[in-house]
Amino acid sequence: MADRMLVEAVRMALARVMSEDETVILLGEDIGRNGGVFRATNGLLERFGEQRVRDTPIAEAAIAGLAVGLAAQGMRPVAEIQFSGFIYPCIDQLTNHASRLRTRTRGRLTCPLVIRSPSGGGIHAPEHHSESMEALLTNVPGLRVVFPSSPKRAYGLLLSAIRGPDPVVFFEPTRLYRSAKEDVDDSGEGLPLNCCFTLREGTDVTLVTWGATVIEALAAGDHAADEGVSVELIDVAILKPLDFETIRASVSKTGRAVIVHEAPISGGFGAEIAERIADEALLSLLAPVKRVAGYDVVMPLPRLEQFYLPDEPRIMAAIRDVMSYT
């Protein structure tokens, strides 16, 4: 195994599945000769050729529509949208076509496509390059939504997303592209697209998060341990379909839950998890469920970005709050 950055793990997964399956093709803006805006597809044009690594115009709706058509005709397209803030023009194709094709054709056709998109802040970019809008897509039946937080999980989950029969939106945490590193073996083994990952076991508080905020949550878990608080950390990773059973079992054990995400707090996916806890694990709770999230404002420009993003002190404040209930 070799130490890989998250962006390298993504590239490795793409190369692996393309070498195994000739129906897998890549398309997107500048993904070919430039290797993508973050170089996630660097070198794949030279390896697999222009027929399978296609540069497209700056037209996100057209990219998504082309991907739907290709998938319906037996290909496995993987489309890159440069930033998640540019994914809005794709929503019509994703909601009205990709997610409904299996039902609309009574199972005659499936739509095995993946939309990859860097997501989140922390890279000192303008606001439309720093959004976290995963909650919008978790409300779409028939669509899977994935948001890994480490190179290993990015590799395994991307393999499974491409190989599966369903449309998947695969968000990649932008600020972890080069900062997150770990040993990743190019084994070709995918990870299941229906379960959470328990990164740390504990008995006092359940900490639930996904994407880049896993890093701050891990740091908060270490800090809490220094204060005598045992944190169980769950990386949701697959937001749709949600493996709520893992979360419910953890909350039933700890009696307390803190949910962390980068997206704005109102209508964020954390609200869905909090509601499920209230509905299915209310009698296990020893304290109210707390959410630590982005504020209900447009992502600030770089000078104020660090005040918007959930950080370790805010997470620790929420942990101390739920621990104050006895």
Of the three residues 184, 211, 231, the one that is the final residue of a domain is 184
**208 and 173 both lie in a single domain:** no
In the predicted structure, residue 173 carries a pLDDT above the cut 80:
yes
129 is catalytic: yes
Q: In terms of Cα–Cα distance, which of 295, 278, 288 is closest to 319?
A: 288
Residues 140 and 98: beta-carbon distance below 8 Å: no
Counting the structural domains of the chain, the total is: 2
Alpha-carbon separation of residue 38 from 82, 161, 241 (angstroms): 8, 20, 28
**212 and 301 both lie in a single domain:** yes
Q: Is residue 233 part of a domain?
A: yes
Please state the length of the chain.
Answer: 326
CA atoms within 13 A on the CB side of 128: 5
**88 and 47 both lie in a single domain:** yes
Give CA–CA dist 300/93, Å, rounded. Answer: 29
Q: Which domain holds residue 216?
A: 197-323
**49 and 112 both lie in a single domain:** yes
Which CATH number belongs to the domain containing residue 91 in this structure?
3.40.50.970
- Residues 234-262 pLDDT 10s: 999 999 999 999 999 999 999 999 999 99
Q: Is residue 192 part of a domain?
A: no
**258 and 130 both lie in a single domain:** no
User: SS3 for 14?
Assistant: helix
Q: pLDDT at position 1, please?
A: 64
**60 and 10 both lie in a single domain:** yes
**148 and 213 both lie in a single domain:** no
- Residues 118-156 pLDDT 10s: 999 988 888 778 889 899 999 999 999 999 999 999 999
- Residues 284-304 pLDDT 10s: 999 999 999 999 999 888 889
**158-167, 204-213, 294-303 — which is least confidently predicted?**
294-303
Q: How confident is the model at residue 206 (pLDDT cuts 50, 70, 90)?
A: very high
Of the three residues 162, 184, 206, the one that is the final residue of a domain is 184
**175 and 244 both lie in a single domain:** no
- Residues 88-117 pLDDT 10s: 999 999 999 999 999 999 999 999 999 999
Q: pLDDT at position 128, please?
A: 78
Which CATH number belongs to the domain containing residue 287 in this structure?
3.40.50.920
Q: Is residue 264 part of a domain?
A: yes
**74 and 108 both lie in a single domain:** yes
Quote the mean pLDDT of the chain.
96
Which one of the listed residues 97, 128, 129, 223 is annotated catalytic?
A: 129
**81 and 169 both lie in a single domain:** yes
Give CA–CA dist 326/319, Å, rounded. Answer: 13
Q: pLDDT at position 126, please?
A: 80
Of the three residues 184, 210, 231, the one that is the final residue of a domain is 184
